[in-house]
Chains A and B, each alone.
Chain A
Amino acid sequence: MHKEKEQNIIKACMRNDRTAQKALYDHFAPYMMALTLRYVGDADTAQDVVQEAFIKIFGSLHQFTAQGSLGSWVRRITLNAALEFLRSRNVFACIEDDEVMQMPTMNVSVIEKMQTDELMQLIAMLPAGYRTVFNMYAIEGYSHKEIAEQLGIQESSSRSQYIRAKMFLQKKLEKYK
């Protein structure tokens, strides 16, 4: 979205202009839906989370500063909404601190050949705790320390959840082959 057009839309959204809000929705909703699906795993729940995220976005647009990217800001709010949902389901409370295991090797070439939808389905099969850490570390690019802070878990737990997620995916990939 062009920066100036983005600014105009933001101003109009702040005036509660429905047309501008719809324009912002049309632009970001497919991306937010995909992101949320990766975390919550099913479409119905993802819609609820996206709805909550949009309400937060429209309600706090005045806090957005033009220095940053609107896309990054929207992504952060959507991720927080997804994490909030998972937290409400006590997903992170079940994550226990366990010892760090050996990092398993994964066949990346198989993943490279996969379609995006297939990869999404594969990630959706992960247990919620594994899935959250895997998404945050492997896709969003957070460090284990940052993940631990956000989820309220030990850093080592984040690390072990990631390793377990990889092991889980490796098993699935062997079947996929």
Chain B
Amino acid sequence: MEDKKLKQTIQDKLSHHRVDVPDDLWARVSGALPSPIAWYKRKSTYVAAATLAALVLALWWLYDDTTIAPQDPGHSLYTACNTAEEVISPIELPIIPNVIIAKHVKEATPEPKIQSAEKAPTAIQQAPVVQEVLVAEAAQPQDSSITESSTTCDESLHCCLSDSACRLFNDPTAPCYDDIAINHIKKSGITSDRGSLFFAFHANTSTRNTVVTPYAYRCNENEMTFVHRMPFSMRALLEKRFGRWGVGAGLAYTYMAAEYESSDNVRKGLQQLHYVGVPLYVSYEFARVGKFAFYTAFGGQLDINTAGVQHETDGSIASKYFEDIEFRDELLQLSLQLRVGAAYEIVEHIDIFVEPVVGYYFDNDSKIHSRWQDSQWNTSLGLGIRAWL
């Protein structure tokens, strides 16, 4: 009994006892160990260097966002119209957003007059953007011969300048149809009759993989060109590690911007979209050098648009009537993403990372001209922070 107490007392005092170690002992120990492999001989150094080079190339490629210059639909339209009996210069257009220069050509009818800014047309067709403004400004009825809303073709132009579909053909003998199918790129089929404010345009999207098709206009609408910038994402992730593998989820915020311009030069500005998403992914760390980790990840992400705005720039005609149009798309955006990134462990179990992303964005039939909807395959740049267990 006494012996047990003695053992317990001594164990309590000594079993975890520590004493100071002389400073030179580590030098002696490390001197006796095999020399470490020089950094330039390590395989991981080359893997890391290759990954960094790939990242730099990817970033360069992502930011070198040279877009396919859209054809100039506005110019084509005016050129076509300029062959009419009267010449309508864009400068002479009424300074009313989205207003239609509707010209009713009748046999033996005196030459129609050109509408001016001061004399707005009596019938303003499909001008939903600023309809109230237009109505207010168009309070002075003018020459009704100019803007009757009937469907009539000026056969010399083969251009229906009315509320019906029309086409501009190179072939002057081509007929004019009131109900012609609009053969256009997928997302440009959004027309004014859907009633949305800023969607009252056909739109072209200038991205890498869309092509502006030969024109088929509704003459009462304008062509809208979107040039998308590369989306930028911030992510906060929580990841469970299993060796080199990991499973993670988190929150993502994405900012997307596009410069838009209407063919009639009325609308011009910057569209900004904000998305919040939930990513779910599997990751694999293929190299680690010190506190740097290089990894790839694959997974899905569900995004929802939280806010959007079209801000007219100072040069746009529409900016005289409004500055911003705010909107929100309630449709969920699902995507599959492949990411390759580099992470730096700032404190234990917490990394910051940068990663180029290649993603496939499923079509959700959104009316918003986001880069994701205008081009299903996309690249973006992501930054973020991740905690791992």
Which A residues lie at the B interface, using CB under 8 A? 2, 5, 15-19, 21-22, 25, 29-31, 33-34, 37-38, 43, 47, 50-51, 54-55, 58, 103, 105-106, 108, 111-112, 114, 116, 119-120, 123, 137-139, 141, 166
| Complex: A37 Cα to B22 Cα, angstroms | 13
Residues of B within 8 Å of A105, CB to CB, are 2
Residue of B15, B16, B19, B20 with most chain A CB atoms under a 10 A cut-off: B19
Q: With A51-B25, A120-B14 in contact, is A37–B19 under 8 Å at CB?
A: yes
Q: How many residues of B contact A (CB 8 A)?
A: 31
| Complex: A127 Cα to B3 Cα, angstroms | 20
Contact B17 A21 (CB under 8 A): no
A165 vs chain B, min Cβ distance (A) = 11
Contact B13 A116 (CB under 8 A): yes
| Complex: A106 Cα to B4 Cα, angstroms | 11
- In the complex, whether B30 has a CB less than 8 A from a CB of chain A is yes
| Complex: A103 Cα to B18 Cα, angstroms | 30
Q: List 27 A-B contacts (CB under 8 A).
A: A5-B348, A16-B33, A17-B36, A18-B36, A22-B26, A22-B30, A30-B18, A30-B19, A33-B18, A33-B19, A33-B20, A33-B21, A34-B14, A51-B25, A51-B28, A51-B29, A51-B32, A55-B33, A103-B3, A111-B13, A112-B9, A114-B13, A116-B14, A120-B14, A138-B6, A139-B10, A166-B6
Q: Which residue of B lies closest to A16 (CB)?
A: B36
| Complex: A123 Cα to B6 Cα, angstroms | 13
| Complex: A17 Cα to B20 Cα, angstroms | 24
| Complex: A54 Cα to B25 Cα, angstroms | 10
- In the complex, whether B7 has a CB less than 8 A from a CB of chain A is yes
Q: State which of B6, B9, B20, B29 has its C-beta within 8 Å of the C-beta of A25.
A: B29
B216 vs chain A, min Cβ distance (A) = 62
A2 vs chain B, min Cβ distance (A) = 8
| Complex: A113 Cα to B35 Cα, angstroms | 48
Residues of A within 8 Å of B33, CB to CB, are 16, 21, 55, 58
| Complex: A21 Cα to B18 Cα, angstroms | 19
| Complex: A15 Cα to B28 Cα, angstroms | 20
Contact B3 A50 (CB under 8 A): no
Residues of A within 8 Å of B22, CB to CB, are 43, 47
Residues of A within 8 Å of B82, CB to CB, are none
A153 vs chain B, min Cβ distance (A) = 20
Q: With A5-B348, A106-B6 in contact, is A31–B16 under 8 Å at CB?
A: yes
| Complex: A74 Cα to B297 Cα, angstroms | 38
Residues 162-181 of B at the A interface (beta carbon under 8 Å): none
Q: With A16-B37, A34-B17 in contact, is A119–B10 under 8 Å at CB?
A: yes
Residues of B within 8 Å of A43, CB to CB, are 22
Residues of A within 8 Å of B17, CB to CB, are 31, 34, 116, 120
Residues of A within 8 Å of B15, CB to CB, are 139
| Complex: A25 Cα to B31 Cα, angstroms | 13
Residues of A within 8 Å of B32, CB to CB, are 51, 55
5 nearest A-B pairs in the assembled complex, by CB-CB distance: A30-B18, A16-B36, A34-B17, A34-B19, A29-B21
Q: Which residue of B lies closest to A8 (CB)?
A: B288
